[in-house]
Amino acid sequence: MSTVEQQLDELEATITDELPAGVSVTSVAYEGPELVVYTRDPKRFAQEDDLVRGLASRLRKRITVRPDPSVLSQPERAREEIMDVVPEEAGVTDLDFHADTGEVVIEAQKPGMVIGRGGATLREITKTVGWTPEVVRTPPIESSTVTNVRNFLKQEREERREILERVGRQIHREEMSDDEYVRITTLGCCREVGRASFILSTPETRVLVDCGDKPGAEGEVPYLQAPEALGAGPQNIDAVVLTHAHLDHSALIPLLFKYGYDGPIYTTEPTRDLMGLLTLDYLDVAAKEGRTPPYESAMVREAIKHTIPLEYGDVTDIAPDVKLTLHNAGHILGSSVAHFHVGDGLYNVAFTGDIHYGDTRLFDGAVNDFPRVETLVMESTYGGRNDYQTDQDDSERKLKRLIREAHEKGGKVLIPAFAVGRSQEIMLVIEEAMREGEIPSMPVHLDGMIWEATAIHTTYPEYLRDDLRSRIFHGEDNPFLADEFNHIESGEERQEVADGDPAIVLSTSGMMTGGPVMSWLELLGPDSDSTLLFVGYQAQGTLGRRIQNGRRDVAVGDGRDTVSVNMDVETVDGFSGHADRAGLENYVKTMSPRPEKVLCVHGDERSVQDLSSGLYHDHNVRTFAPKNLETFRFL
């Protein structure tokens, strides 16, 4: 008998002892980080909610109770009873019964009303039908990504359960080593922006944090072939943690599965969906540009299948000696700071991923409040000595003025924007300005993946800033559903817009390196009444940067045609998803306790050196500016 089986037998005995007489336990199993308890008395658990709470605190594990299949009521009947219990205003759109686990997934427009105050309605459901309810939100804007992911996971439910059981056994294995250390190996994004990737290792465990590409430097991928990474075999990695869905952190996550990895990916639910959206697009773009994509779309599905979603603040065992907690990073939807607690009080490491320190319209500022962090691995994108951003209020004023001016001339405003993050921030500014009459009301056309990314945002309002969240919760006030917003679906539609009245167009790609923004440039470029408005960083070598620098004759199509850009070209800074230099310093300065060591990564050479030296001198922490492929040992 393996030690895990023995452990489960002992747990079953303990649980049986702990529970009141007459509450049965038919079996216990690990599923990922959770301990699942099967019972013939699910209603008793629902009635006395102290039972689960008592077990969880006694066993120090996350516990899920499921009904033994023998006590389940018929789905047809259960469906009716559930609809009786749940208030009609909840807007239930789907009920999906899974007899193997006794779970019923309830999709509803207002999940809160299915849950009830303190979970009262959920308990009522179990008391009535025995099934364990799980609630998901019906996307307020239809999202093919969310629908596809949910359908796919439903279809792969059986294999997914096998994966979770395997991962569960892995997490709860016995520790093998008496040694104690924590190491970080840098596989990318050191003294450069892009290809974020790290290994966090202990004598027991090896965790890969992020696995991205490098924009503008195709082929410069993380050093996965190093023996510290997958070179020692994919089974050598226990877990993958993804901080957020941007491609410079996520693009090569599916590649891990092509290389034989079949362990878990821990990330937030919106990051999982956005990763699906962005990596599939990444493959499309590669194919369109005639490059061989590094993996097939099947690998994206593998990644989704192996994802174990975590909520902010959940402390989760991901290995015998490692607990992971994700915290809001304020950067994009679902973005996280990943905090690792190693051993029993031994050591703590946090990886910031990308952070925005202050609040934005979309998100609260990044969390930096941890019980302990000895070592912080910190992004440094704007870590340079002079990397101070314009105040967002000033930026918004300028944005509104430029829109007003274009409208007065009867022109259009074309805003190239990244689908995830910046687009939604700009949408909120525009929606408010129109609602409050600061700019005239006019159509705002969304082209490329912006619409879909926005739909994903509205599916997970829990991840948005509280005032925005509550507007989405009360569906009638969802700013993303404002009448002005229109999803462009065809080339003809673009032509109509171009020929029509004043309007705003937000279109990908954000640096004009391809995507529908190229068609918009062909249509609107010659119009001297219109404005081309940059709201994000334009990297060296991109068309966006060239136009910013004064280039006005631009090759379009397959490079055979040229368009003259007669539009006004304007730039509004200050909508970055990254903390500026002050924000990065404040993030560290306001931590309590202060970390002992900070590794400055994810910035160009100058930025990491400046930030490293600044934090050292002004805030008295030991700082490092690592190179790729170095290993630091703590303890």
Which one, 203 or 309, has the nearer CB to a second copy? 203
Interacting span for a second copy (CB under 8 A) from 228-236, 257-265, 272-280, 442-450:
228-236
CB atoms within 10 A of CB 473: 16
- What letters, b where the CB count within 10 A reaches 16 and e where it falls short, cover 304-322? bbbbbbbebeeebbbbbbb
Binding residues for a second copy, rule CB under 8 A, total 17
Cα–Cα distance for residue pair 147/151, rounded to 1 Å: 6
Closest CA to 208 of 196, 200, 216: 200
Burial of 5 (0-12, 13-18, 19+ CB in 10 A): exposed
Within 10 angstroms of residue 470's Cβ, the number of other Cβ atoms is 12
The binder of a second copy chosen from 83, 120, 217, 232 (CB under 8 A): 232
Helix (H, G, I), strand (E, B) or coil at 81: helix
Regarding 526 and contact with a second copy (CB under 8 A), the answer is no
What is the smallest separation between the CB atom of 625 and a second copy, expressed in angstroms?
A: 12
Q: 248 labelled as ligand-binding?
A: yes
Of 24, 42, 34, nearest to 63 (Cα)?
34
Nearest distance in Å: CB 174, a second copy = 17
Stretch that binds a second copy, among 63-71, 92-100, 178-186, 357-365 (CB under 8 A): 178-186
What is the C-alpha separation between 397 and 486, in angstroms, rounded?
Answer: 24
Region binding a second copy by CB under 8 A among candidate stretches 268-276, 341-349, 360-368, 627-635: 627-635
The least distance separating a second copy from the CB of residue 603, rounded to whole angstroms, comes to: 18
Q: Mark the segment that binds a second copy (CB under 8 A) among 364-372, 420-428, 556-564, 624-632.
A: 624-632
Least separation in angstroms between CB 187 and a second copy = 11
395: Cβ contacts below 8 Å, ≥ 6 apart: 572, 573, 574, 575
Residue keyed to tokens 């959206």: 277
- From 143-151, 328-336, 592-600, 622-630, span contacting a second copy (CB under 8 A): 622-630
Shortest distance (Å) from residue 424 CB to a second copy = 39
Compare residues 322 and 442 and give the one whose CB is closer to a second copy.
322
Residue 223 or 282 having the CB closest to a second copy: 223
List, in order, residues 6 or more apart from 110 with CB less than 8 Å away: 89, 90, 91, 473, 475
Looking at 41, 103, 210, 228, which residue binds a second copy (CB under 8 A)? 228
- Compare residues 201 and 519 and give the one whose CB is closer to a second copy: 201
Q: Does 631 bind a second copy (CB under 8 A)?
A: yes
Does the protein bind a second copy through residue 613 (CB under 8 A)? no
Among residues 97, 152, 181, 616, which is the contact residue for a second copy, using CB under 8 A?
181
235 belongs to the binding site for a second copy (CB under 8 A): no
Retrieve residue 520's tokens.
């918009």
d(CA 570, CA 253): 36
Residue 630 binding a second copy, by CB under 8 A: yes
Nearest CA among 489, 190, 209, 143 for reference residue 351: 209
Q: Which two tokens stand for residue 481?
A: 């559903």
Whether the CB-CB separation of 109 and 91 falls below 8 Å is answered with yes
597 binds a second copy (CB under 8 A): no
Annotated binding-site residue? 249: yes
Name the residue among 492, 481, 403 with its Cα closest to residue 442: 403
Which of these ranges, 44-52, 227-235, 349-357, 551-559, lies near a second copy under the rule CB under 8 A?
227-235
- Contact pick of 119, 227, 260, 541 for a second copy (by CB under 8 A): 227
- 346 binds a second copy per the rule CB under 8 A: no
Question: What is the pattern of x (binds a second copy, CB under 8 A) and - over residues 236-265?
Answer: x-----------------------------
Nearer of residues 231 and 371 to a second copy, judged by Cβ: 231
Q: Does 175 bind a second copy (CB under 8 A)?
A: no
Q: Where does this chain touch a second copy (CB under 8 A) — which range of 73-81, 98-106, 179-187, 527-535?
A: 179-187
Element (H, E) at 9: helix 3-18
Contact flag: residue 231 with a second copy (CB under 8 A): yes
Rounded to whole angstroms, what are the CA distances from 624 to 65, 275, 597, 630?
46, 30, 8, 11
- Binding mask of the shown chain, residues 124 to 163, with x at each position contacting a second copy by CB under 8 A: ----------------------------------------
Contacting a second copy within 182-221 (CB under 8 A): 183, 185, 206
Cβ 352 to a second copy, closest distance in Å?
A: 22
To the nearest whole angstrom, how small is the minimum distance from the Cβ of residue 577 to a second copy? 30
Are 330 and 337 within 8 A, CB to CB? no
DSSP letters, 338-366, are EEEEETTTTEEEEE--S---S--SS-PPP
* Piece in contact with a second copy (CB under 8 A), picked from 177-185, 275-283, 309-317, 496-504: 177-185
Residues 6+ apart with CB under 8 A from 249: 196, 210, 211, 212, 242, 243, 353, 354
Strands (E), 382-450: 413-416, 444-447
Q: Which residues contact 617 (CB under 8 A, 6 or more apart)?
A: none
Show binding-site residues for Zn(2+).
244, 246, 248-249, 331, 354, 602
Show binding-site residues.
244, 246, 248-249, 331, 354, 602
Using CB under 8 A as the criterion, which residues of the chain lie in contact with a second copy when the complex forms?
Answer: 181, 183, 185, 206, 227-228, 231-233, 236, 627-633
